[in-house]
Amino acid sequence: MAGPKPRIITLTKREGQGYGFYLRVEHGEEGHLIRALEMGGAAELAGLKDGDRIVRVNGTFVDILEHSQVADLVRKSGMSVTLHVLGEEAYKTAKANGVNLADTQSQSGQSQPTMNGVSAPAAKAKLCYLQKSSSGFGFSLKSTKGTKGIFMTEVMSGGEADQAGVKLDDRIVEINSENVESLSHDQIVQKVKATGDKVMLLLVDEDADRFFKGKGIRPSTAYATVKHLPHKPRIADMTKRADGYGFILKEVPKHAGHYIGEIDKGSPAERAGLKNMDRLVAVNGQETDNCRHEQVVEKISQQGNKCSLLVLDAETEKMYKLGGVSPLLYWEEMRGSPPSYPEHEAEATPAPAALAPADGDHKPKLCRLEKAAAGFGFHLNGIQGLHGQYIKEVVKDGAADRAGLEDDDIVVEVNGVNVEMSTHEEVVNLVRKSGDTLVLLVAERTAYDHLKARGIAITPQLLDKEPSADVPAPAYAQEDERKDTGSDNERPATPPAQTRSRSSSSSSSSSSSSSASSASDVSEDVKL
């Protein structure tokens, strides 16, 4: 029997955002399921459906992998991920007929993949940066009765607009990152005049406009090409020599971010085109703006003897900020394939064969708590809008204290379920469902940061011994059982120190005493 034809879908996201779906495994259901699609999210716009099964992640066949392994593949893919998916019926039919799904990769039912609902290479919006000359910007605006939108007209041949990529009848969507689709002709004219001598426009031509409207997608910079922009970020591909890459990473007073400095003459950094005071934006496609200095250094170090840096000079950064554009759009547009590294560095140091296990000072803790009359004796705290939970207000001589928990320990697993990407309410529910015995895998904050910076997954395998056989089976929280209680507290910033809203914390002493879910109810889901 011929194998089914998976859909190939590429999703992109912004830093701090998700792809808009839950990856889930359920008792009685085979495969890695797409659930709880966020309306208007990347996954929903791309055409993913509830019950779809993920077969491959970035080309890796995942149907035989553990749930946590698949979630990690998606998380570690950076700001975009390519999925091969099958509909629920097609997947179940294939499994029932013994089809080897690993052989279906070349049988794609689409000639081109889909990116957030747009066939790739897709009809794209475009970003155009104009600098006014003595004759102006070189275009006029028009509106047509019965047609919604303001359009470009009288685009002067060889003028500023023409050179910037503006075409006749392009529809204007944004001016300097502000959506102006609902404004009148006169209001948009005033907006353009108010920009001064520089303006960033987000435009759609007739084909792109028709496509976006047909898909119900609102054009934005997420769907735009940056190929017309005059100033470009730079990608520096480097191979390390025995003395390193030949630059330092520094922080500059009164300037946010991480900067390149002290570039050695003839070094890999100089050959790759790095300049003094370039701002580092990403390491191998992973954004660094929200990382501490030492975390960025670790990101570079853990790449072995090769790394690829995305950097901006001051002029390019100013232009990108004007349009509210992420420089990672340039990376995504330029890097459809793995980076091409120079191979001529004779003194390159060998890359480590594998990541070293956690050292003695940076190990997690596996803590087994037996509920007392006063509860487990700790509070669970989190920050609103961010993933990650931590321990607070450990009661002296209480169950948590006796088990080795300490204030500010970061919770990694609850009864064997990884909760690093779970919401506060989901983790609270897991604790409540644990009954009288609770097993937590936690890490002290510096240990957590150290392991994450080195790309080491925090699991019980990092301990000297495996958890005891009497550790209870995991109890999994369902979405409709979320609940909020408790008082306010704020977690110490784990990557960046910045002001954040706080979520309510929950005292374990008020947790219900309901028993853990039975095996027939077990499911697991991860928000992505």
Q: Which of 25-34, 346-355, 381-390 has the highest mean pLDDT?
A: 25-34
CA angle 368–374–377, rounded 5-degree value: 45
Among 66-80, 84-98, 182-196, where is mean pLDDT lowest?
66-80
Q: Check pLDDT > 70 for residue 94.
A: yes
Position 7 scores a pLDDT of 86
How many separate helices (H) and strands (E) can be counted in the chain?
13, 29
Phi, psi of 93 (to 5 degrees): -65, -45
What would you measure as the largest C-alpha separation in the chain, in angstroms? 81
The residue among 366, 374, 380 whose CA lies nearest residue 398 is 374
- pLDDT tens by residue, 208-255: 888 778 767 788 887 888 989 999 999 999 898 888 899 999 888 888
Peptide bond preceding 121 in cis form (omega within 30 of 0): yes
pLDDT at 169 over 90: yes
What's the rounded Cα separation, in Å, for the pair 65 and 331?
30
pLDDT, residue 114, reads 54
**Confidence (pLDDT) at 274:** 92
Angle of CA points 245, 247, 250, to nearest 5°:
135
Look up the pTM and report it. 0.47
Grade residue 132 by pLDDT with cuts at 50, 70 and 90: very high
Tokens of 5: 């034809």
Kindly give the pairing relationship between strand 506-507 and strand 53-57: unpaired
The burial of 108, by beta-carbon neighbours within 10 Å (0-12 exposed, 13-18 middle, 19 or more buried), is given as middle
Q: Residue 8: is it exposed, middle or buried by C-beta count within 10 angstroms (0-12/13-18/19+)? A: buried
What pLDDT shows up at residue 194?
A: 93
Q: Looking at per-residue confidence, does 361 or 377 come out higher?
A: 377
Per-residue pLDDT band for 58 (boundaries 50, 70, 90) equals confident
Phi-psi group of 202: left, alpha or beta (phi > 0 → left; psi -120 to 50 → alpha; rest → beta):
beta
DSSP annotation of 503 reads: P
The answer, yes or no, to whether residue 30 has pLDDT greater than 70, is yes
pLDDT level of residue 156 (50, 70, 90 thresholds):
very high
DSSP for 213-262 reads HHHTPPP-GGGEE-TT-SS--EEEEEE-BTTBSS-EEEEETTEEEEEEE-
Helix 293-301 / helix 445-453 crossing angle, nearest 10 deg:
40
pLDDT of residue 453: 66
Predicted confidence (pLDDT) per residue in 403-450, tens digit: 999 988 999 999 888 888 777 778 888 888 888 889 999 998 888 877
Going from the N-terminus, what domains does the chain have, and what CATH number goes with each?
Answer: 7-97 (2.30.42.10), 125-225 (2.30.42.10), 234-317 (2.30.42.10), 365-458 (2.30.42.10)
204, containing H or E segment: strand 198-204
> Of 387, 487, 478, 474, nearest to 429 (Cα)?
478
The pLDDT of residue 54 is 94
Distance separating alpha carbons of residues 479 and 18, to the nearest angstrom: 17
Residue 131: in which H helix or E strand, if any?
A: strand 125-131
Question: Hey, which bits of 451-514 come out as E strands?
Answer: 506-507
- The predicted structure's pLDDT at residue 455: 65
Q: Is the pLDDT of residue 336 over 70?
A: no
Residue type, 448: Y
Mean pLDDT of 17-25: 86
**Average pLDDT of the residues in 1-5:** 69
Of 35-49, 160-174, 310-324, 325-339, where does mean pLDDT reach its minimum?
325-339
Per-residue confidence (pLDDT) for residue 128, from 0 to 100 = 96
Q: What pLDDT is attached to residue 183?
A: 92
Range with top average pLDDT, 52-61, 330-339, 375-384, 517-526:
52-61
At residue 41, the pLDDT reads: 78
Instruction: Give the residue-averaged pLDDT of 326-334.
Output: 83
Q: Which residue has the tokens 């209680």?
A: 485
Q: Is pLDDT at 119 greater than 50 in this prediction?
A: no
Q: Give me the pLDDT at residue 503, please.
A: 33
pLDDT by residue (tens digit) across 173-201? Answer: 999 999 999 999 999 999 999 999 999 99
pLDDT of residue 360: 54
Helix, coil or strand: residue 510: helix
Query: In a 3-state reduction of DSSP, which class is residue 274?
Result: coil
The arithmetic mean of pLDDT across residues 456-475, rounded, is 56
**pLDDT on residue 152:** 94
- How many C-beta neighbours within 10 Å does residue 257 have? 14
